[in-house]
Amino acid sequence: MHFNLRSAFAIYQREMARAFRTAFQSILAPVLTTSLYFVVFGTVIGARMESVAGVPYGAFIIPGLLMLTLLAETTSNASFGIYMPRFTGTIYELLSAPVGVAETLAGFVGAAATKGLILAAIILATARCFVDYEIAHPLLAVIYIMLVAASFALFGFILGIWADSFEKLGIIPMLILTPLTFLGGTFYSIRDLPALWETIALANPIAFLVSGLRYSFYGTGDVPIALSLGLTLGFLTLCTIVITVIFRTGWRLRD
């Protein structure tokens, strides 16, 4: 099957243009919110806390806060990006165009990964204003951020196709993803929990994502990095399969 690079790049450009048109909502707002977390937890509370796994508390929470913002914003942006064409009816232009599933996913996911890296870079630059930190495995951190952004862009894509109202777009990011991220070791190490609560925390898949990103920063995590990478790749594959089936069957796209 021939891959149409021009079609994929056109979708990518459109998504990136939409992101820059809504830069305050999609980039600046989450950065301001994260800055408040750094002020309260990193500077005020962190100055009174002991280090965690040999890492100062203010630096320890950086991967968790980055993951918190990345999951919420990537999912929301991707879901809104596909919901609006459905809402306005312009989705039929995409469906009738000579664009395959691969080109569509490459455009949307590529844009989501790019926006995720931009958002991560701005947050990391902002964190420098509050705490000192070093990234032990910078290449792994970039790859992991791109994998997570791509995975949850696909998840948001599915959410945007499933939702039939604006209210449903916010249900999963606000009521499920955000609480699970807070409970997934954003502000603490799961290893410090009592045995029972540690077992319960490890039932939260977001804990593996936070741990994987924290390992790329400081070389330490609550679970093995191979497990975190495997879970992320598995989720990416599952979402790709689901979206392929959706495009093949036209579920909620041609209604």
Chain segment 115-155, per-residue pLDDT in tens: 878 888 888 888 888 888 889 999 999 899 989 988 998 99
Residue 241 maps to a domain: yes
Q: Does the global pTM surpass 0.85? A: yes
Residue 254 maps to a domain: no
**How many helices (H) and strands (E) would you count in the chain?**
13, 0
pLDDT tens for residues 22-58?
Answer: 777 777 787 788 888 877 777 777 677 778 878 888 8
Tally of domains in the chain: 1
Residue 190 maps to a domain: yes
- Looking at every residue in the chain, the average pLDDT score rounds to 86
Residue 213 maps to a domain: yes
Distance CA 51, CA 16 (A): 39
Q: pLDDT higher for 90 or 225? A: 225
Q: How far is CA 151 from the centre of its chain?
A: 7
- Pick from 5, 225, 247, 232: nearest CA to 113: 232
Residue 225 maps to a domain: yes
Domain containing residue 214: 5-249
Residue 26 maps to a domain: yes
In the chain, % of residues over pLDDT 90: 25
Residue 255 maps to a domain: no
CB 23 within 8 A of CB 113: no
